[in-house]
C-alpha cells in the first residue's frame, strides 16, 4: 500500500492552498461587480470556472468551464447532481454530491466524448477502482483505492496498447501537466520507475517536457522503498528534498471547484504567476523570524524586457526595517517575469507588483501577491 504520507501528497496536488479574499461575488443582475455564478431557477445555479477550476467572471476571456448544479447557500456547498460543460457545450465532467461531499459515480470525458476516467466516491473519498482511458476508448491506467489512506497501481498500458504494469508490477511511465506557472518553461513532467506490488520502488526519474516541441529535460531523481519516499534530487535547483514534490499518480484540478476560490481576469493570475511570486517570497524568507508583528502592503517596480528578463527592480514601499533590505535583495534575484504583450507582439514594459506581507504567531512571514500592473501593455 502507498503510505499515508504519500497518499496525502497525491491528494495535496489536487488542492492548492491559495490565500484569497472572496469579495465582489454577485448574481448576474449586478453588472458593476464580478459575476462568478448566476441563478438558473429556484434550485440550480451556473458557476463559471477557468480550465483549472478557479472561479472567474462570466465575461472573462479565460472562462472555459460552466457548472450547472444545485447549491446550498446556507452551508456553502454543492448538492445533488451536476454537469460541467465546455464553451461549446461538450460534457467535461458529471457527478453528484451528498451533504456537500462527493458521492457516487464521477465520469470525465475527452473532447470526442469518450470516457476519460471514471471513479466512485463515498463521503468525498475515491473507492474501488479509478480507471483511465485513451481518447479511442482503450484502457490507460487502473488504480485501486481500498481505504482513505492507501492506493495501489494495478495496470498501465502504453500508447501502443502494450501492458506495462500488470497486476501491480512492471515499469511505469506517466505524464502529468504542470499545475500553475512553470519557471522553467515546461508544460508537463513525466515519472518513470518500477512499480512493485502496486507501489513505487527503487530509483525513479523525473523529466520536464514540452511534447509539441519534443523537448525533454532530466529534472530530478527520487528513491522509494515499498512505496515509502526516501529522498529526491532536483537538478534544476541543485537541491535535495525529503518529501515528494511530484505526483506519480495522475491528478485533475476538478477538486479545486469545491473550494470556490476565484481569480481576477488577468493573464498573470490565469497562468499562476502571481501565486508563484508569493511562493518565491515565502521560500526566500523561510528561515526568517521577525521580532515584531508585520502587516504591511508591499510594492516594487521592475523593467521587464520582451524576452522576460528583468532589470532595475526596486522596492517602492516602506517595509519594516528588519525585512526591507532583505526584501529588496529577493526582488532583485527574480530573473524572469511574464513579458507584456500588445498589438500582437511582446514588448518591453515597466511592471509594478503589489501585495501584502504579514507575520504569523511564530514570526514567520507570509506573502500574498495581489496584482501586477503593466504600464505600457495597458496603454490604449
pLDDT of residue 252: 87
pLDDT of residue 34: 87
Let me know: does 41 contact 298? Beta carbons within 8 Å: no
pLDDT of residue 149: 62
When the pLDDT of each residue in the chain is averaged and rounded to a whole number, the result is: 89
pLDDT of residue 19: 30
Res. 13: pLDDT tops 80: no
pLDDT of residue 267: 94
Which secondary-structure segment (H or E) carries 326?
Answer: helix 321-333
Nearest of 80, 56, 60 to residue 68 by alpha carbon: 80
pLDDT of residue 21: 30
Backbone CA torsion sign across 232, 233, 237, 238: positive
Backbone CA torsion sign across 369, 373, 377, 380: positive
The percent of residues above 70 in pLDDT, for the chain, comes to 90
Where exactly are the structural domains of the chain? 4-259, 267-374
The percent of residues above 90 in pLDDT, for the chain, comes to 85
Res. 148: pLDDT tops 60: no
Mean pLDDT of 345-363: 96
pLDDT confidence bin for 173, thresholds 50/70/90: very high
Mean pLDDT of 285-294: 94
pLDDT of residue 379: 61
Length of the chain (residues): 380
Mean pLDDT of 118-140: 96
Spatial CB neighbours of 290, under 8 Å, sequence gap ≥ 6:
320, 322, 323, 359, 363, 365
pLDDT of residue 170: 98
pLDDT of residue 269: 95
What cell does 36 get?
A: 462568478
Give the largest Cα separation in the chain, rounded: 62
Res. 255: pLDDT tops 90: yes
Mean pLDDT of 252-277: 94
List the 310-315 sheet strands across, edge first: 310-315, 295-304, 349-359, 365-374
> For the segment 78-90, what is each residue's pLDDT rounded down to a tens digit?
999 999 999 999 9
What cell does 259 get?
A: 473550494
Let me know: does 302 contact 311? Beta carbons within 8 Å: yes
Mean pLDDT of 9-18: 32
Nearest of 302, 290, 295, 371 to residue 331 by alpha carbon: 302
Query: What global pTM score does this model have?
Result: 0.84
Res. 25: pLDDT tops 80: no
CA distance 47 to 24: 15
Amino acid at each position: 500500500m502507498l503510505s499515508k504520507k504519500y497518499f496525502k501528497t497525491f491528494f495535496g496536488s489536487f488542492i492548492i492552498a491559495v490565500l484569497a479574499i472572496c469579495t465582489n461575488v454577485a448574481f448576474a443582475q449586478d453588472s458593476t461587480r464580478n459575476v462568478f455564478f448566476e441563478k438558473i431557477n429556484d434550485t440550480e445555479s451556473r458557476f463559471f470556472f477557468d480550465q483549472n477550476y478557479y472561479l472567474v467572471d462570466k465575461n472573462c476571456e479565460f472562462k472555459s468551464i460552466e457548472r450547472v448544479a444545485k447549491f446550498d447557500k446556507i452551508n456553502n456547498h454543492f448538492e445533488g447532481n451536476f454537469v460541467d460543460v465546455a464553451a461549446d457545450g461538450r460534457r467535461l465532467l458529471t457527478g453528484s454530491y451528498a451533504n456537500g461531499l462527493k458521492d457516487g459515480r464521477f465520469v470525465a470525458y475527452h473532447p470526442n466524448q469518450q470516457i476519460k476516467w471514471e471513479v466512485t466516491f463515498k463521503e468525498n473519498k475515491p473507492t474501488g477502482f479509478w480507471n483511465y482511458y485513451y481518447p479511442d476508448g482503450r484502457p490507460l491506467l487502473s488504480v485501486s483505492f481500498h481505504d482513505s489512506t492507501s492506493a495501489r497501481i494495478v495496470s498501465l498500458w502504453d500508447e501502443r496498447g502494450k501492458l506495462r504494469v500488470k497486476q501491480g508490477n512492471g515499469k511505469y511511465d506517466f505524464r502529468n501537466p504542470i499545475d500553475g506557472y512553470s519557471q522553467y518553461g515546461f508544460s508537463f513532467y513525466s515519472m518513470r520507475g518500477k512499480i512493485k506490488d502496486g507501489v513505487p520502488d527503487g530509483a525513479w526519474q523525473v523529466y520536464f517536457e514540452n511534447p509539441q516541441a519534443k523537448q525533454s529535460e532530466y529534472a530530478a531523481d527520487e528513491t522509494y522503498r515499498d512505496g515509502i519516499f526516501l529522498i529526491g534530487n532536483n537538478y534544476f535547483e541543485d537541491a535535495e528534498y525529503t518529501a515528494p514534490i511530484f505526483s506519480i499518480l495522475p491528478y485533475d484540478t476538478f477538486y479545486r471547484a469545491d473550494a470556490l476560490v476565484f481569480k481576477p481576469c488577468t493573464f498573470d493570475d490565469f497562468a499562476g504567476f502571481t501565486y508563484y511570486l508569493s511562493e518565491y517570497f515565502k521560500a526566500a524568507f523561510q528561515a526568517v523570524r521577525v521580532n515584531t508583528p508585520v502587516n504591511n502592503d508591499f510594492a516594487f517596480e521592475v523593467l521587464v524586457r520582451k524576452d522576460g528578463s528583468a532589470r532595475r527592480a526596486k522596492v517602492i514601499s516602506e517595509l519594516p526595517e528588519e525585512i526591507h533590505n532583505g526584501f529588496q535583495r529577493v526582488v532583485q534575484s527574480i530573473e524572469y517575469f511574464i513579458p507584456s504583450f500588445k498589438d500582437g507582439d511582446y514588448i518591453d514594459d515597466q511592471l509594478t507588483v503589489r501585495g501584502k506581507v504579514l507575520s504569523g504567531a511564530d514570526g514567520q512571514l507570509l506573502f500574498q501577491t495581489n496584482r501586477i500592473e503593466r504600464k505600457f501593455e495597458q496603454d490604449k
